[in-house]
A and B are shown apart, each in its own frame.
Chain A
């Protein structure tokens, strides 16, 4: 078990992570399964019973989530509880153990929950697809690597919901329960709870293979809707995997381009040209990709695209102010140090180090790796950037009516 003992948090924070393959055939069933087991266990069969028991345990919290890790999907259960030395009740830790035991070992599913999950999941997906930004991102990911893990939406496919059977979900649950788990605790631990968690089958997940975006053939798509603002998404292939020596320079390059407070995109597209309120970039860590997202008016789209292209050329040529390199590094260093104050980020960092089989993973080493990145490293990291996909969800103009 991975533990981060500290007295500074009010909560004790626990992550239990399971890895399963990320496949189009099973992702929707996994999503339905997660919905079904949320708030229902063998002894707390109704949402009401579970909510009452959790509330009485000083707002004990259970979160479920799915996250993509290249070809794998991580199924997370997170617990948060007020640390026991703050609560003056004899049975408090026993109540917590009961709840965790129920969630981890005795989830409950039935056909009624299955029907409910299908309804709720459909509504969630419809809401997501109605949102222009979400729609643009999902479409861009899909067409970038149509038949690969990048193109599989983690939230499942709307059109697959009715195809999934109750048996599919039961099978997914069985696989989930059987699979080994990564377990981590951040905060002030309690022996009884640690003993309970120790009965799970532990795992140390590692990754050897990364399926990066490659054989780039540029694709674009435009979708029209009656909306107030156009969403523009571009995906670039970086050809750099997360375990590459160029990964830290790539991190810094992304910060300079669109993630730091003085990024090239923010300064030029927003501050100088006033084309938008929001523009940013982020890495698709396990896929060798970089995504740029911008909300702008239809009349400015061409200007935004030109400016993005211009700033990427500036980045490639190393012809940006060296001060921006220092600012980007400081911003990343601050984020790294700040992780020590955010329990689930501490856990995620340790997990990533384990997953990628990194050695020398102290905070000092990571900070040194960032601080040592040079302009030449940046140029090398961005040299291979290729635009793979562009999606616009744009403002539909009403047809003129002839009189």
Chain B
């Protein structure tokens, strides 16, 4: 199996990590700068001190960063034939642009934009209405509500229970000082990772980046870190329901697991769980057709899982009128977990293929490379996890999972009562 990868990687004198990937014959370039701070960075330890940020600060700052020297840089990017954007996840904030033109000028602009904070009271106040509007988009989506509420049910303290956008109250109260404090803690050049995926030659680009970064020495010697309160093993609440203006109800069943010690172990276990979920809650399960024939669910049903170093959960959800039958179905999957050899072989090959395909997806590859640097794992070694899966090992792991901590959330049509 060969990976179509041509990588040039370097750590600069200011500590910034740079990874460039050459994609032969491609017209486009994507450059992305990642910051290891996101929705989880509500409680932090900096210089030995405990710091509490407003919820949503990482995301609010992301909105504000598209300013330099008092101007909106979106126009500058556009004049260079580049499209700029950004996103905030739970664990990182990423700023990126794409272009088919020469990428050096917009790359320089991206580097300047991220490494200079230009924020005013007026710019902060103006952004509040925009972010509250974004909040409303997610607030009225039943599937988003379902996920939000299951996280609240599973977790008492973990910041997974808080929206990346923050609460409307904190969005409304955000001040310039909150953003500056967060920026100064998290945006030092030594903490940043710059990834480029491009059809252009890598050498001149690396030279350009190296030279430009001489203008941005690191100011920090100590890395700040996220703080997580001790989280009990039990769930926060076993049942919750909410009414919304929808026609058919949703139900989600979540299982809280212990976090995994070590990032490669977490990635491997996450992969094994994904394989089990695809085998059990997909067409490879001989019972899957029976469940559809019985109308327990249609194509509005799926699973969601994340096993990581600070949290771990598995969820099954469906839009269905047959809530009790769905809960029983999931119970039976949880009780009888063995994956058949046939399903394992098919899904292992599919996972290998997925990794190969992923190498053509510039945005996904850039994000994965950034995460590999933040979390300290080897990107190619992570790709090889699928290839090295062992049938007996996967089954032993899945059968050994403690799935005793369960919560259920229902999103119900208006005027419908919950089952309790």
A interface list, Cβ under 8 A from B: 6-11, 39, 46-48, 50-52, 55-56, 58-59, 82, 86, 88, 112, 116, 119-120, 123-124, 126-127, 129-132, 225-229, 260-262, 270-271, 274-278, 295-297, 323, 326-327, 330-331, 333-334, 337-338, 340-341, 396
Contacts and interface: CB of A to CB of B under 8 A. Distances in A.
19 contacts: A8-B26, A51-B284, A56-B345, A119-B295, A120-B298, A120-B299, A123-B248, A123-B298, A123-B300, A129-B247, A130-B248, A228-B135, A228-B139, A261-B75, A277-B133, A278-B133, A278-B134, A297-B133, A331-B83
Contact of A227 (B140, B247, B282): B140
A48 B286 contact: yes
Contacts of A131: 141
B320 to A, nearest CB: 9
Contacts of A260: 78
Contacts of B74: 261-262
Contacts of B360: 9-11
B245 A7 contact: no
A296 B79 CA distance: 29
A145 B400 CA distance: 59
A130 B349 contact: no
Given A7-B24, A229-B139, 7 more contacts: A52-B342, A55-B347, A58-B352, A229-B137, A271-B72, A334-B82, A334-B101
Given A124-B300, A338-B28, A274 B129 contact: yes
Contacts of B82: 334
B99 A270 contact: no
A274 B130 contact: yes
Interface in B127-156: 127-131, 133-137, 139-142
B100 A338 contact: yes
B283 interface: yes
B349 A226 contact: no
Contacts of B127: 274
A228 B144 CA distance: 13
A229 B136 CA distance: 6
Nearest to A329: B81
Contacts of A396: 245
Nearest to B286: A48
A341 B26 contact: yes
A29 B84 CA distance: 43
A295 B136 CA distance: 9
B133 A126 contact: no
Interface of B: 1-2, 4, 23-28, 72, 74-75, 77-79, 81-84, 98-101, 126-131, 133-137, 139-142, 244-248, 282-286, 288-289, 292-293, 295, 298-300, 319, 342-343, 345-347, 349-350, 352-354, 356-357, 359-360, 414
A327 B78 contact: yes
Which are the 10 A-B pairs with shortest beta-carbon distances?
Answer: A59-B353, A274-B129, A55-B346, A229-B136, A226-B245, A277-B134, A123-B298, A228-B136, A47-B283, A277-B133
Contact of B23 (A8, A58, A227, A296): A8
A124 B297 CA distance: 11
B246 A48 contact: no
B42 to A, nearest CB: 22
A24 to B, nearest CB: 23
Given A9-B360, A10-B4, A47 B130 contact: no
A8 B25 contact: yes
Contacts of A52: 284, 342-343, 346
Contacts of A340: 27
A161 B395 CA distance: 43
Contact of B357 (A6, A11, A39, A55): A11
A277 B131 contact: yes
A58 B282 CA distance: 17
A277 B59 CA distance: 14
B142 A130 contact: yes
Contacts of B356: 10, 58, 82, 86
A151 B126 CA distance: 39
Contact of B349 (A59, A127, A326, A333): A59
A130 B288 contact: no
Given A51-B282, A341-B28, A132 B140 contact: yes
Contacts of B357: 10-11, 59, 82
Given A55-B346, A130-B246, A47 B288 contact: yes
A331 B81 contact: yes
Contact of B128 (A55, A274, A333): A274
A340 B72 CA distance: 30
A7 B284 contact: no
A333 to B, nearest CB: 7
Contacts of B248: 123, 126-127, 130
Given A124-B298, A229-B140, A261-B83, A334 B99 contact: yes
Contact of A327 (B79, B137, B283): B79
A119 B298 contact: yes
B1 A86 contact: yes
Nearest to A129: B247
Contacts of A295: 133, 136-137
A297 B134 CA distance: 11
A327 B349 CA distance: 45
B361 to A, nearest CB: 10
Contacts of A333: 81
